Amino acid sequence: MKKLFQPYHLVTISPWPLLMSISLMMLLISVLNWFNNYTFYMLMLSILVSILIMYQWWRDVIRESTYQGYHTKFVVLGLKLGMLLFIISEIMFFFSIFWCYFHMFLSPSIEIGSNWPPKNIIPFNPYFIPLLNTIILLSSGVSITWCHYSILLNNKINSIISLMITIILGLIFTMFQYKEYYVASFTFTDSVYGSIFFMSTGFHGLHVIIGTMFLLVNLLRIMLNNFSSIHHFSFEAAAWYWHFVDVVWLFLYLLIYFWSN
């Protein structure tokens, strides 16, 4: 009997999707428990379990792509489409936040004094930490592009150096945003302005942290020679995500920080 071969990867039975769903449910429940009972032991345990599951799930994917050779051109094409759709869903998420911002900014309600920002709210100076963070993120976009071209040219040293620069810039951005939150004169509960500000910048900061972890995993894979000039979609996906984070921050800076002042 003639054996038929097909270029697609039929994933074997894996426990990680189910376990990750349960872990995320427990994570959200533990967040509510933290908010209401002020105990975070369950939260720490849920985060630890989620990290362990992510590690083992990513380990399996890396094994399938790097060592078993299951990620053919057709499989990579599907992965690219999946990553593109994921980024589009993230764009819609931030679009909903910007919609709320424009709704309140263009026509402030009488409950907040028909002013934007509302009375007694002292917004951040857009030329201090916000501008510095903008320069940092734009610089990280340059360094990650440098890394991409270094991988295409099989220049391992430059790819490692440029990716380390990108990760360090991401960590510096996160540190400055923490400092900004620490000295803020308003809180999440200070009118709709505080809610929109911390929702938009907070979720963006979360995306920066996730993107930094994404890049860190790729840095380890570059050091372990997992990539070649023609097979490095894991890094490309991380670079797409990082550029998306950069573009969202530009809109946040122009609308939330600059235009509000």
Tokens of 195: 């809610």
Average pLDDT in the chain: 90
Q: How far is CA 240 from CA 102, 141, 200, 234, 245, in A?
A: 27, 10, 20, 10, 9
| DSSP H or E run through 106 | helix 73-106
Q: How crowded is the C-beta side of 160, counted as CA atoms within 13 Å? A: 10
Q: What is the rounded distance in angstroms from the CA atom of residue 29 to the CA atom of residue 50?
A: 13
Topology (CATH level 3) of domain 1-70: Helix Hairpins (1.10.287)
Say if CB 245 and CB 204 are below 8 A apart: yes
Give tens-digit pLDDT for 5-42.
Answer: 677 777 888 999 999 999 999 999 999 999 888 888 89
Give tens-digit pLDDT for 185-230.
Answer: 888 888 888 899 999 999 999 999 999 999 999 999 999 999 988 8
Give tens-digit pLDDT for 118-130.
Answer: 888 888 889 999 9
Give tens-digit pLDDT for 39-93.
Answer: 888 999 999 999 999 999 989 998 988 888 888 888 899 999 999 999 999 999 9
Q: Is the full-model pTM beyond 0.85? A: yes
Tokens of 147: 């890394």
- List where CATH 1.10.287.70 sits in the chain: 1-70
- List where CATH 1.20.120.80 sits in the chain: 73-259
Q: What is the rounded distance in angstroms from the CA atom of residue 55 to the CA atom of residue 245?
A: 23
Domain 73-259 has CATH 3.30.230.10: no
Per DSSP, 110 falls in state G
Exposure of 115 by Cβ count < 10 A (0-12 exposed, 13-18 middle, 19+ buried)? exposed
Say how many Å lie between the first and final Cα of the chain, rounded: 74
Give tens-digit pLDDT for 142-199.
Answer: 999 999 999 999 999 999 999 999 999 999 999 999 999 999 888 888 888 889 999 9
